[in-house]
Amino acid sequence: MTTEDRRERIVAAADRLFYGRGIGQVGMDAVRDESGVSLKSIYREFPSKEDLVLAVLAHRHAMWTDGVDRAVARTTDPRERLLAVYDFLAEWFSERDFRGCGFINAFGELGAASQRVAEAVREHKASFQRHVDRLVAEAGGPASLGPQLAILAEGAQTTAAISGNAEAAESAREAARTLIESAL
């Protein structure tokens, strides 16, 4: 197994465990068992649990960005591209293992104790905001629309996680449509 393969296996296993059970509930022994990689090798790749959490967040950021990009790429209409963000959310919220936003979850667990985790979460959220801002600019909308649409997406994530159903995505999409029609 290459170093890259081993690293990916560890991150994938930690992601499943952290997302499914919570970071604080998962020890490195569980990551070893789930990944099939020895503790020595895990610690060689990730000297601390915080380093592993950061790698998982980087992995989640890539998954999130790819999912949003794929949804937006399905259409060329600028308004529909904005709404496609909520279509992505609806697909995600419908997944069997949906437990809310891994970044919000990580921030809730570790944000006060780990500056590095807090910074990673903030950068992820800022990255999403910049992405929405670009979509708004491409649609010819005012700069104030981007933060409004992003907060709808953020609120939908939290609502869906707590309520346990995907309807929050459709509610957010309809609210976004109203905002877009008003602004454009």
Segment 140-161, tens digit of pLDDT = 999 999 999 999 999 999 999 9
Q: What residues make up the domain containing 160?
A: 49-183
Query: Given 47, 66, 83, which residue is the final one in a domain?
Result: 47
pLDDT number for residue 3: 86
Pair (19, 53) in one structural domain:
no
Predicted pLDDT of residue 104: 97
Same domain, 129 and 110: yes
Overall domain count for the chain: 2
Q: Which residues of 61-90 are buried (b: 16+ CB within 10 A; e: fewer)?
A: beebeeebeebbeeeeebbebbbbbbbbbb
Q: Is the dihedral of CA 177, 179, 181, 184 positive or negative?
A: negative
Give residue 136's identity as a one-letter amino acid code. V
Q: What is the CATH number of the domain that holds 10?
A: 1.10.10.60
pLDDT at 80: 97
| Together in a domain, 68 and 84 | yes
Q: Based on the domain organization, do 70 and 112 belong to the same domain? A: yes
What residues in the chain have per-residue pLDDT under 50?
none
Same domain, 173 and 128: yes
Give yes or no: residues 29 and 76 share one domain: no
In this structure, the answer to whether residues 83 and 135 fall within a common structural domain is yes
Q: Which of 47, 65, 80 is the last residue of a domain?
A: 47
pTM over 0.75: yes
Residue 167: what pLDDT? 97
Q: What CATH number has the domain bearing residue 54?
A: 1.10.357.10
| Residue 43 to residue 40: CA distance in whole angstroms | 5
Closest to 139 in 3D by CA, of 82, 70, 55? 82
What is the reported pLDDT for 56? 98
Longest Cα–Cα distance in the chain = 57
Same domain, 78 and 43: no
What token pair was written down for 97? 């293992």
Pair (120, 93) in one structural domain: yes
